[in-house]
Chains A and B, each alone.
Chain A
Amino acid sequence: MPPLPEVIKPDWIAQGAFWLIVGVTLTGAVFAVFLKQIIHNILGLIVSLFGVAGIFIYLNSEFLALMEILIYVGAISISFVFAIMLSEPMYKEKSKRNVFKTVFTGIVAGLIFWSFSTIITKTPWEAAAVKSDEWSVRAIGNLLLTRYMLAFELISFVLLVAIVGAVIIAGQGRRQRSSQ
């Protein structure tokens, strides 16, 4: 491989890619919230989640980035799309939001943003003393099956209950209708 010309430094490439990913994430988030059509919202959410996966890679957590794409994009977003298909007709007219409430939501969100940004800038962040330097998937798996065993099992139980509950709740209306 020929050496890169002097003006291009690897660090700049990393920086540029980082800000590109941040732009993708925030643009997707804006699409997910501000567009009117619900299917455009969900597509914006998917774009934003891919960006979040990129940010996770910059935070040294490749495993979490893969899980983000697998769980959020692969499972949650697809189930959203199915729910949109089954429930929300797009031709139905939407009810208007009154202006007072719109202004009020803007004020609340702005207030939260302002106060948290003050907290972020004012706090002196100090790193804790490093106990271990193990980022690997092996370490995560080890901890999941030793120290966090109970939480791990509880999460799997919660997911099981959620699946059964979702089937029962979503199936109920259909059973009632067929018995009528």
Chain B
Amino acid sequence: MNQLEVYLFIALIMFSLGLWGVLQRRSLIAMLISVELMLNAANINFLAFNRFLAPEPAVGQIIALFVMGTAAAEAAIGLSIFLAVYRRNQNIDIERIRDLKG
């Protein structure tokens, strides 16, 4: 509990699950959910290093806050793109969205 490696391994498991989800899931929304998992794993890593190794503990928290802000922007843009894709194709399954496939 008071060891850096424990937190790093928790974040690593979350990151691997998220990576697997991004590569495996077929629905765009499910892929974005997996991306959120990966971003959270990165945030855990930032705060773990901040807690155990960093010289100034406020800085890591600020970086994690920036990650959250970027994640919010990314989710807003991504979801609105998915809605536009759905209106066009009546589907957000990536195996069936083939307009850009040459």
Q: Do A and B bind each other?
A: yes
Chain B residues, Cβ within 8 Å of A169: 77, 80-81, 83-84
> Chain A: interface secondary structure?
helix
Residue in B19, B68, B86 whose beta carbon sits within 8 Å of that of A67 in the complex = B68
Let me know if A125 and B76 touch, CB within 8 A: no
Let me know if B20 and A109 touch, CB within 8 A: yes
Q: A105-B20, A116-B12, A177-B87 are in contact. Are A95 and B77 (CB under 8 A)?
A: no
Let me know if A135 and B57 touch, CB within 8 A: yes
Tell me the smallest distance from the CB of B86 to a CB of chain A, in Å.
4
Tell me the smallest distance from the CB of B91 to a CB of chain A, in Å.
7
Q: A109-B19, A129-B55 are in contact. Are A55 and B44 (CB under 8 A)?
A: yes
> Chain B: interface secondary structure?
helix
Let me know if A121 and B5 touch, CB within 8 A: yes
B binding-site residues for A, Cβ under 8 Å? 1, 4-5, 7-10, 12-21, 23-27, 29-30, 32-34, 36-37, 40, 43-44, 47-48, 50-59, 61-62, 64-66, 68-77, 79-84, 86-88, 91-93, 95-96
Contact residue range for chain A? 35 or more
Q: A22-B10, A94-B27 are in contact. Are A166 and B80 (CB under 8 A)?
A: yes
Q: Which chain B residue lies CB-closest to A168? A: B80
A binding-site residues for B, Cβ under 8 Å? 14-15, 18, 22, 25-26, 29-30, 32-33, 38, 41-42, 45, 48-49, 52, 55-56, 58-61, 63-64, 67-68, 71-72, 75-76, 79-80, 82-84, 86-88, 92, 94-95, 97, 101-102, 104-106, 108-110, 112-113, 116-117, 120-121, 125-135, 139-140, 142-144, 148, 151, 155, 158-159, 161-163, 165-167, 169-170, 172-174, 177
